[in-house]
Structures are given as C-alpha cells and as structure tokens.
C-alpha cells in the first residue's frame, strides 16, 4: 500500500481522512513494513466500509488486514441503529463465527514423547476433517432447532463437555436472540451431517507446546507454563454458516436500492438494522454463531475422548473460545455516552480489556485471552485484551497471519508429501486426508504471524502472553 | 493476471483460475454465455480436484433465478456448491439452458472418493468479488468471480 495515502498518527496507527462519500475516517493499525506489504485493495475496502450508513467513529483494519470481500479481512466497524445503521452479511462473511479455542491438557511435552505418534493417528481418525467428511452426530428437525437456539449450551446438555466450559466461551456458549426460523431449509440440510467436523482450508486441530512466556503473571492466571501441552481447535459454522451467508448476501444486494443504500461494492451487501431483512439476517446469523459454538464443543468432546484413551492422566480444560466473523451488539462509550452498537468483526477477534463485565470472574482482573492462530509450521500466540484496546477499535485485535501467496502459487511451489516430511524432521506430525490441501496450506504461503502479533502488541490492541508451537496438526 | 494455462480447452471453451490473496478466482470462457457458465463450473471443480478424475456417472438437475447475468452466475456456482456439499459429489460435465432470468442446468458427476480425488479444499460459496459476465472484443463470453474457500 502506498504510504502517501495515509497520515501517521502514531508508530503503528495510520489514518485515512474522510473524502468523497466516506462518513468517518479509516484507521489501520500496523507497522510501516506491514502497511507497505498490504494490498491496495485493503485501502479501497477500508474506505468503502466508511461510506456505509450509520457507521460511527471509524472504519478499522487490524495488523493482519488483507483483501477480503467487501470488508477487508481484519476489518472492524460499528453501526448505530439510531443513526440508520446497517448490518452487513458481507461484513460478517461466509464462515460465520469461525473461531479458535484453546484447551489446557495438564501435560508437559515429556508426557507426550512416547505417545505422540499414536495421539496424532487417533486424532486424525476420530475427528472428521476435510472435504465431504461427516460427523457422528446427525440432527433431525427438532434437534437442529434446539442446536441453533442453544449453541454450546445445547451441546453440553447432550453430554458433549462440561458446564464449566460454557463460562469460557463468548456469550457463555449461547448467543441470545437466535432465530432458527430464519435459517433456510437449505442451510439446515447442509448442516445435518456436519456437526463435530473440522472442515478444510485453513481450519485445523493442533496439539501445541508453550515455548515462551512474555507475561508470566497473566500466563499464570491463564494456567499456562513453559513446556505445557495445549490443544487448539480452529473451525466454524460449517455448511450452515456458508449457506446463510450466501442467501442473505443475495437478498441484501437485491433489496439495497429499496432501502436507499448505495453499495460501492456488491460484496458490502447490507440492510438497515431496523428493517425486515436486517432483523431476519441477525436472527439467522446468531443461529449460525450457535452452530459454530456447538461444533467446536463437539470437536472438543472428541478430542477429550482421544486423550482419555491415550494419555489418561490428561485433563482438558478450556482456556477460552473466540469467534472471528461476527456482528454483535455491544455497549461502547461514544463521546462519553454508553451507546449500543452493532460491531462487525470480519477476520478479527474480540479483545476485551480487564474489568469488562462480559468476562468470567476468574479472568476479569487481567482481560480476555486473545487466541491468534498461526500455520502448521510456525507458531500461534496467546495475547490478552488491554484497557487501551477498548478505546482503539471497540476491544478488537487481529486473528491470524493471513496468506502472502495464492493457493495456486503455493501448489506450484510445494508438494504436500515434502511439506509433511520436512515438518516431521522438526518434530511436527501432520495428518490430513489431502496432500494437495497440505501444499496449498504450506507454512511458507502465510505471512509471518510473529510480525503481526508484535504489531498488535505495539499498538496496544492486545498484549503478548505466550508463544505456542505445533507438535501435531490435523488439517482438513 | 492469468496464473494458469487452461487445463481444458475444447470447442466449447476453456477455464482458468485467477489469483485472490486469500482465495481463488474461477473464470469460464466460451463461444456462448452457456458455454462460459459450463466452463466456470469446471473451474469450480478444479479448485477442489482434478476435473479429469471425476467420472460423469450421475446426473443432477438444478434451476436458478436472478435479475441479471452476474447474479445468475453466482447463483449457478452456489447451486453447484450446495449439491456438492449435500450429495457429497463432485461434477465434471455440465449443460446449461437459459430462459428469461432463469438457468436450467444438468451436472454429471460421481460421489467423492477421498483417496482418488484428493480434494484440496471445500468451497464455502461464490462471491461478488471480481464478478463479471461479458463478451470480449472477439465475441467470446467470459464468466468469472472469486470463490471463498
């Protein structure tokens, strides 16, 4: 991106002054190097989002921002319903509530040494992953409704996990005001056999080790020590979310003119929050969030079963579960007045600071765990929300590294088998049904996650707590 | 920018992929709008697997309706995504007929076999990004958009 387009307001804060139809400025949090490598499309998309009705404060981009659909991936924007604000299906995306959860295991790297291979095989065989995979949980019409209304709370009621898990999931595991009746039969059919599956693409299940602590005190509150083994699960609302995204994108595009909304890009499809389409989308999207939470809860249950069989001394407890692609109603202080806003995070996570009332009591003094996923060959990070972050971008941070190379380029550069072999020499066991999928997801095809995390830390969006490196990775 | 030499070029047209930072673009090219849409269907299959590995054994019929050609292309690709997901099939041969604002298609394919097809990634949906359906200077129809994977 051309630096001349931006005005620097701090070491890691760049502003785009409102021009043309922009209602608010654009703000990008990133280092000079990251800005330099960002696609011009990010600039275009940040400014396009700034033109949407009812947007307040600014159109934000996180340090990992890259070219998305309508919104940049790594985009954050909030809308005030009383100012004609909109909800955007494009601003949430197809993989509604795709997210990451992190489980402590109570094990150290030494405990896994003799069983790592066995564990990798068992996780690969017991957790459905990849194109066309189906889960063991099949939902009839009644259970589908209950799952869409209840989320992870429904899953726990069915025996998948514990009530304690719910405390450490956003919305306590269940998004209120979900309206399963606004989820089409097509979306429900697409989901009926997909509960408890990982999916494909950048989704994964990883066994990781804590290799470094940056903030020992917060790590201690999070229950993390150097040498600990943890498990990361990255997946979303599967076919149901994809179908809801597809259907509402079309209905918002075709009704935009009726709502007097001028779309600079059809992918920014949106509808007034206070409109029939807007309300129906919100109800369906919240049901999809519940689907994602239930899905990660079932996968967690399967992972616990595998660990119980292979390392019975393990005890898997949930540190936290964050969602990436959402629109949530939150109260934020605007000009000193608490205001109810519809906050869109597209490829961005919540990063609520210490004292936030939505955090569980045991974490409230330090802030929300922010989980940043890396690649199968590099690292992931645990960060913590800061007090400053609440005023920077509604308590939001980056969600991952983002690709630096297209899938096709990656396929030309690497062979899946070679990637698996190379990582095995570094002690990382990869299991996947598709070698082509491995090549497309090769670690070299992604940006440096550490640089992105450092930028988030420098900008005070979130503070680094721990670095995690993979031991076993199951890819879809 | 075209990243890939079309793998399949017949009298009915050709397909290719074009890059998007996070995802992938599909482009169908043909002497008619229908041929371009059919080739875009092949390009979609090629995101997942090698189209030549998919035997055209079973036929599935689809109908889509949209106010313009571009929205119709997105609907057509999303109909394929839906059928692939719910039937757990892959498709390698298509015929398309248009009437007014509707598209009537038949897709031939087979159930997915993980070992043989080595599916790289599932497509979540077709998007409005880089979406266009138009004729070029030589009269060829080009139908394209980015798909989210």
Position B20 confidence tier, pLDDT thresholds 50, 70, 90: confident
pLDDT at residue number B1: 37
Confidence class of residue B6 from pLDDT cuts 50, 70 and 90? very low
Mean pLDDT of all residues in B99-122 = 93
- Residue-level pLDDT at B10: 60
Handedness of CA A444, A446, A449, A452 (dihedral sign): positive
Instruction: Please report residues of A whose CB lies closer than 8 A to that of B121.
Output: 131, 200-201, 407, 434, 437, 440, 476
Taking the alpha carbons at both ends of chain A, their separation in whole angstroms is 33
Beta pairing class for A317-323 and A26-29: unpaired
Pair of tokens at residue B55: 């035997």
Given a cut of 90, whether residue B106 has pLDDT beyond it is yes
Using beta carbons and an 8 Å cutoff, which residues of B are at the interface with A?
Answer: 3-4, 17, 19-24, 48-49, 66-67, 71, 74-75, 78, 81-82, 85-86, 88, 112, 114, 118-122, 124-129, 131, 146, 148-149
Is B121 within 8 Å of A134 when comparing Cβ atoms? no
Q: Write down the pLDDT at residue A131.
A: 87
* Tokens at A219, concatenated: 């790590």
To the nearest whole Å, the CA of B73 is away from the closest chain A CA by 12
Which pLDDT score is estimated for B7? Answer: 53
Interface contacts A/B by beta carbons within 8 Å: 129
Instruction: Say yes or no to pLDDT of B23 above 80.
Output: yes
Q: Are strands B13-19 and B24-30 parallel, antiparallel or unpaired?
A: antiparallel
Residue of B nearest to A41 (CA): B21
Mean pLDDT to the nearest integer, B105-116:
95
**Per-residue b or e along A372-392, where b marks 16 or more CB atoms closer than 10 Å to that residue's CB:** bbbbbbbbbbbbbbbeebbeb
**pLDDT in single tens digits along all 476 residues of chain A:** 989 999 999 999 999 999 999 999 999 999 999 999 898 999 999 999 999 999 999 999 999 999 888 999 999 999 999 999 999 999 999 999 999 999 999 999 999 999 999 999 999 999 999 888 888 899 999 999 999 999 999 999 999 999 999 999 999 999 999 999 999 999 999 999 999 999 988 899 999 999 999 999 999 999 999 999 999 999 999 999 999 999 999 999 999 999 999 999 999 999 999 999 999 999 999 999 999 999 999 999 999 999 999 999 999 999 999 999 999 999 999 989 999 999 999 999 999 999 999 999 999 999 999 999 999 999 999 999 999 999 999 999 999 988 888 888 898 899 999 999 999 999 999 999 999 899 999 999 998 999 999 999 999 999 999 999 999 999 98
pLDDT, one tens digit per residue, over B57-104 is 999 999 999 999 999 999 999 999 999 999 999 999 999 999 988 999
Nearest to A267 among B66, B81, B129 (CB): B129
For the cut 60, the answer to whether the pLDDT of residue B2 exceeds it is no
Residue B32 has pLDDT above 80, yes or no: yes
* Residue A475 and residue A204 in contact, taking contact as beta carbons nearer than 8 Å: yes
Structure tokens at B124: 């979540």
pLDDT at residue number A447: 87
- Residue B19 has its nearest CB partner, among A66, A239, A408, at A408
CA distance A65 to A279: 28
Token pair listed for A96 = 């509604």
Higher pLDDT, residue A408 or B111: B111
Burial class of A126 by CB neighbour count within 10 A (0 to 12, 13 to 18, 19+): middle
Alpha-carbon span A95 to B98, nearest angstrom: 31
d(CA A408, CA A419): 16
- Superfamily for domain range B14-148: Archease domain (3.55.10.10)
Which residues of B fall within a CB distance of 8 Å from A435? 118
Q: Which residues does A261 contact at the CB level (< 8 Å), separation at least 6?
A: A52, A53, A86, A270, A271, A272
Distance, CA of A152 to CA of A101 (rounded, Å): 12
Query: Residue B5: what pLDDT?
Result: 38
pLDDT computed for residue A254 by the predictor? 92
Domains defined along chain A, listed by start: 3-404+446-475 (3.90.1860.10)
């Amino acid at each position: 991106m051309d630096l001349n387009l931006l005005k620097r307001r701090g070491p890691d804060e760049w502003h785009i002054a409102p021009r043309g139809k922009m209602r608010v400025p654009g703000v990008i949090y990133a280092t000079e190097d990251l800005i330099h490598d960002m696609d011009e499309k990010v600039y275009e998309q940040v400014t396009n989002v700034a033109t949407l009705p009812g947007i307040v404060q600014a159109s934000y981009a996180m340090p990992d921002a890259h070219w998305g659909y309508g919104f940049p991936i790594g985009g954050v924007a909030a809308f005030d319903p009383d100012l004609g604000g909109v909800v955007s299906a494009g601003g949430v995306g197809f993989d509604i509530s795709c997210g990451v959860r992190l489980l402590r295991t109570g094990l150290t790297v030494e405990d896994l040494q003799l069983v790592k291979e066995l564990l990798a095989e068992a996780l690969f065989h017991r957790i459905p992953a990849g194109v066309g995979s189906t889960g063991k949980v099949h939902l009839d019409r009644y259970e589908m409704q209950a799952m869409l209304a209840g989320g992870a709370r429904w899953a726990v009621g069915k025996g998948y996990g514990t009530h304690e898990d719910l405390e450490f999931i956003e919305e306590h595991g269940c998004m209120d005001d979900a309206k399963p009746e606004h989820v089409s039969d097509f979306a429900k059919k697409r989901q009926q056999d997909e509960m408890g599956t990982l999916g494909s693409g950048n989704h994964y299940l990883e066994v990781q080790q804590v290799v470094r602590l940056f903030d020992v005190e917060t790590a201690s509150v999070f229950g993390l020590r150097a040498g600990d083994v943890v498990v990361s699960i990255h997946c979303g609302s599967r076919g149901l979310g994809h179908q809801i995204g597809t259907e509402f994108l079309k209905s918002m595009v075709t009704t935009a003119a009726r709502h007097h909304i001028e779309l600079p890009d059809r992918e920014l499809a949106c509808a007034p929050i206070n409109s029939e389409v807007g309300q129906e989308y919100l109800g369906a999207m919240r049901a999809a969030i519940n689907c994602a939470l239930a899905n990660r809860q079932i996968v967690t249950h399967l992972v616990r079963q595998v660990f119980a069989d292979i390392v019975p001394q393990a005890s898997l407890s949930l540190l936290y579960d964050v969602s990436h692609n959402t629109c949530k109603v939150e109260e934020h202080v605007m000009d000193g007045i608490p205001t109810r806003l519809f906050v869109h995070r597209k490829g961005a996570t919540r990063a609520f600071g210490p004292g936030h009332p939505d955090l569980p009591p045991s974490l409230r003094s330090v802030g929300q765990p922010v989980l940043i996923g890396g690649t199968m060959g590099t690292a992931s990070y645990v960060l913590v929300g800061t007090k400053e972050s609440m005023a920077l971008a509604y308590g939001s941070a980056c969600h991952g590294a983002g690709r630096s190379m297209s899938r096709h380029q990656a396929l030309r550069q690497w062979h899946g088998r070679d990637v698996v072999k190379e990582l095995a020499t570094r002690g990382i066991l990869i299991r996947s049904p598709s070698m082509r999928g491995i090549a497309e997801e090769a670690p070299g095809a992604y940006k440096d996650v550490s640089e992105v995390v450092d930028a988030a830390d420098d900008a005070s969006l979130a503070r680094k707590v721990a670095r995690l490196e993979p031991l076993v990775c199951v890819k879809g | 920018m075209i990243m890939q030499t079309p793998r399949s070029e017949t009298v009915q047209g050709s397909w290719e992929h074009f890059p998007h930072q996070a995802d992938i673009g599909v482009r169908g090219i043909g002497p008619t709008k229908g041929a371009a849409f059919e080739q875009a269907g092949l390009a979609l299959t090629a995101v997942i697997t090698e189209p030549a590995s998919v035997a055209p054994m079973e036929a599935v019929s689809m109908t889509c309706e949209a106010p313009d050609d571009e929205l119709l292309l997105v609907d057509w690709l999303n109909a394929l995504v839906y059928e692939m997901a719910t039937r757990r099939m892959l498709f390698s041969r298509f015929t398309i007929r248009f009437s007014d604002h509707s598209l009537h298609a038949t897709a031939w394919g087979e159930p997915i076999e993980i070992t043989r097809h080595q599916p790289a990634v599932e497509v979540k949906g077709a998007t409005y990004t880089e979406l266009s359906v138009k004729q070029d200077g030589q009269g060829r129809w080009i139908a394209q958009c980015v798909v989210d994977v």
